[in-house]
Amino acid sequence: MEDLITRIENKVAYVAFNRPKVLNSFTPDFLGQLIALIQKLDNDRGVRVIVLTGVGEAFSSGGDKAFLDQLTKMTPIEIRSTVYAFFGGAAKAIKQCSKPTIAAVNGPAVGAGCEIAIACDFRIVARKAFFCESWIDLGIIPPLGGMFLLPRLIGLGRANDMVMRGTRVYGEEAVTIGLANQVVDREQMDEAAREFAEDLARKAPLALSVAKDGLRRGLESTMDGEAGFNIYAQSMLLNGPDFGEAVLAMREKRRPEF
């Protein structure tokens, strides 16, 4: 069986983690495949949005148990070439992908699974699913960007709870605190993710890409520092075909076709 199931419909790529017997736990090889797939979809002009989800009961339970045992025997150099090349590399590939990414969190998103979900631009969560940064219970810290992103998503106090106490955040609370964009019953997840993704896919693709890049840059910069980027990017967009189509559609009282 393929560890990753992919289908493309209406300009949306749906990627499912297909290791349900181990709750979609991650190995370096699996994440290497995910990195390559994200890069391939990012370069595919027929894809405008990417949705990640899990097959079975979990989004992802995090690092594979056998791999976690191997980590105890690795040198710092070996850890850098595995945890940060593949685990960190997957989170980075998702965060830096030029196209919007959505995590359809159908079940528990734990450890590295939580970090991958946080790396996405949007999160739809099942009511009984939860996010958990379980690293503290292993005597380590979140290594894939969660400690940078979480305080910016949900505030320092709640990030402290998740990172230092390993608390679980379930569907309803996740939406309330800003960790997720939408909560649905598990049975509604596929339809909700499809509607959310297809709505994004109808937006101007270049503007989406620039907006994503600008928002990510803004996390790491200042308003003055980003002014030049904004002027350059906006000038390009105003001179591009999507803006022209939007103005024409407004004049003709119809939906723009990007």
Say yes or no to pLDDT of 20 above 80.
yes
pLDDT given for residue 228 in this prediction: 83
Q: What is the pLDDT of residues 94-129, one digit of tens each?
A: 999 999 999 999 999 999 999 999 999 999 999 999
pLDDT (mean) for 134-154: 93
119 and 68 Cβ atoms separated by less than 8 Å: no
Q: What is the mean pLDDT of the chain?
A: 94
Q: What is the pLDDT of residues 146-196, one digit of tens each?
A: 999 999 999 999 999 999 999 999 999 999 999 999 999 999 999 999 999
- To which residue do tokens 């339809």 refer? 191
Q: Which residues fall within 8 angstroms of residue 209, CB to CB, at 6 or more apart?
A: 98, 99
Chain centroid to CA 44: 18
Q: What is the pLDDT of residues 33-47, one digit of tens each?
A: 999 999 999 999 999
pLDDT given for residue 1 in this prediction: 63
pTM of the model: 0.92
Sequence spans of domains, the chain: 4-201, 205-252
- To which residue do tokens 């590939």 refer? 93
Torsion of CA 208, 127, 92, 60, to 10 degrees: -140
What single string gives the DSSP state of each residue in 175-202?
HHHTS-SEEE-GGGHHHHHHHHHHHHHT
pLDDT (mean) for 6-25: 97
Say yes or no to pLDDT of 220 above 70.
yes
174 and 120 Cβ atoms separated by less than 8 Å: no
Tokens for 94? Answer: 């998702």
Distance CA 112, CA 103 (A): 13
147-167: b (≥16 Cβ within 10 Å) or e: bebbbeebeeebbebbbeebb
| Domain at 4-201: CATH code | 3.90.226.10
pLDDT given for residue 67 in this prediction: 87
pLDDT given for residue 230 in this prediction: 84
